[in-house]
Structure 1
Amino acid sequence: MSILMLALAAQVPPPAAPVPPRQPGATIVAEPAAMFIAACDANGDARTTRAELTACVARSFPDAAPQSGSAGYIGYSDWAQKWLGDRNALPSPYQADGDNDNRITLAELQAQFAILFDRFDLDKDGMVTRAELVTIRSAPVPQDGDGGKRRGRR
């Protein structure tokens, strides 16, 4: 090979690696409360009954109110972080605080989840299945999942 050909070959960049296809945005999503309700399936039959949910909320509640029997909004947000995945997940402490005393009791939290259970129990058979707990999105979802509006980005 001539020196000219070697020089030209050195200037040509190697072929770029193929770009893998992007995973499409999710069309099936679950609310944090729905994920919690699904996790309350105590007997593993892929259905959560009202009794299983009530018992599960009672088991999780000491994380919000370890000794006092009621949780302030900060204690509730700690509970939401652990059990719902985010401090700001719904139901909010304002929804759960039925008597507006800035404290959340076990009975208030169970009442809020009873309302959610009724909303998710589409066929009103007294149990919630995974199919009832997911939401199907019909609108197109941006490829990056949220249109570039992720937490922390401005």
Structure 2
Amino acid sequence: MATPIPLMIAEPVAMAIAAFDMDGDGLVTRTEFDAGIARSFELSAKGQASIGYIGFGDWSERWLGNRNALPSPFEVDQDGDNRITLAELQARFALFFTRFDTDKDGVLKRSELLTVRPAAAPRPAEAENRRPQRRR
């Protein structure tokens, strides 16, 4: 049996961060990162100082790809007032920048935004189900 190829996965938050690359060089500087968060918030807040949890769900769907993607509004809403401010979003995302910047150079490369996981070998029943069915 062949060794499974590792899976490369992009977390929803990593996809959003990659979209913050303003100059198209494949890198996200801290300046681009901060500007991207601010721009994404402004587009969702529509001139308001904060967004509610439903508004955060809309933000998540647009920027993370799913209303239920992490971080949840409960993680972002630091003061528990059921509203998300730009400062709260920036504070939560600053933690992501630090986590993803594995070489600590202040720039996020696409390779740093990927998570590599070992692929699980298919179980015998799954392998059997993958065989093409014969046409009769």
Q: TM-score range with shorter-chain normalisation?
A: 0.7 to 0.9
- Are the structure 2 counterparts of residues 26 and 123 from structure 1 closer, same or farther at C-alpha, using a change threshold of 3 Å? closer
1:98 to partner: Cα distance: 1.5
RMSD of aligned Cα (Å): 2.0
Contact 1:38 1:48 in 2 (8 A): yes
Number of the residue aligned with 1:45: 25
Give unmatched runs, 5+ long, in structure 1: 1-23, 145-154
1:63 to partner: Cα distance: 3.4
Letter in 2 for 1:40: F
Aligned residue-pair number: 121
TM (norm. structure 1) is: 0.72
> Which protein shows a greater Rg?
1
Equivalent in 100, 103, 107 of residue 127 of structure 1: 107
Number of the residue aligned with 2:48: 68
1:111 to partner: Cα distance: 1.1
For the residue of structure 2 that corresponds to 1:71, the secondary structure is strand
Identity rate, percent = 56
- Are the structure 2 counterparts of residues 141 and 77 from structure 1 closer, same or farther at C-alpha, using a change threshold of 3 Å? farther
Number of the residue aligned with 1:91: 71
Give unmatched runs, 5+ long, in structure 2: 127-136
Higher strand share: 2
Letter in 1 for 2:49: G
For the residue of structure 2 that corresponds to 1:99, the secondary structure is coil
1:26 to partner: Cα distance: 7.5
Number of the residue aligned with 1:9: none
Equivalent in 38, 41, 45 of residue 58 of structure 1: 38
1:62 to partner: Cα distance: 2.5
Runs of 4+, deviation exceeding 3 Å: 141-144
Number of the residue aligned with 2:9: 29
TM (norm. structure 2) is: 0.81
For the residue of structure 2 that corresponds to 1:132, the secondary structure is helix
- Are the structure 2 counterparts of residues 141 and 71 from structure 1 closer, same or farther at C-alpha, using a change threshold of 3 Å? farther
Contact 1:97 1:103 in 2 (8 A): yes
